[in-house]
Amino acid sequence: MARDVNPRPNQPCPCGSGKPYKQCCAVKKQRRRKLLRQSRKLLTWIAAAGVLALVVYAFFQMSGVRYTDQDLTVVDFSTLNRSQKRAALQAANQARCPCGCGMTLAQCVVTDSTCPLRSKNIDRIRAMVRENSQPQGG
């Protein structure tokens, strides 16, 4: 005699308990399905939050300006307009410190006051500011 995989609600449960299916294993199946749905929803939300975080991170990385003129207080950016300031800051945030620390010029000037080349790095950033303050003619 073959057992029903999914018996009707009022038939005896196939597990052998003698209870109607709807009061025995059907409840367990419903709980399992509910738990599965909830875990899928949670996983979807976690994935969506991860994608959103990745998009935000990528946006800030594409801007190219981690350290701004407010961080680089030793350099005067007041002579530059917005686009010139952005160009100078991007250059300072992309150029590498020559001491071998692996930091950018701006990062080294802001965070490492013990760098032996810090004053040279400040001068390099000031040169970038001067370079960007000159009108671009063509």
Which of helix, strand or coil describes residue 84?
helix
pTM beyond 0.75, yes or no: no
pLDDT in tens, 35-91: 999 999 999 999 999 999 999 888 776 666 788 889 999 999 999 998 899 899 999
Residues in the chain, how many? 138
From the number of C-beta atoms within 10 Å of its C-beta (0-12, 13-18, 19+), residue 53 rates as exposed
How many Å separate Cα 55 from the centre of its chain?
A: 7
Q: What angle do the packed helices 118-133 and 82-94 form, to 10 degrees?
A: 150
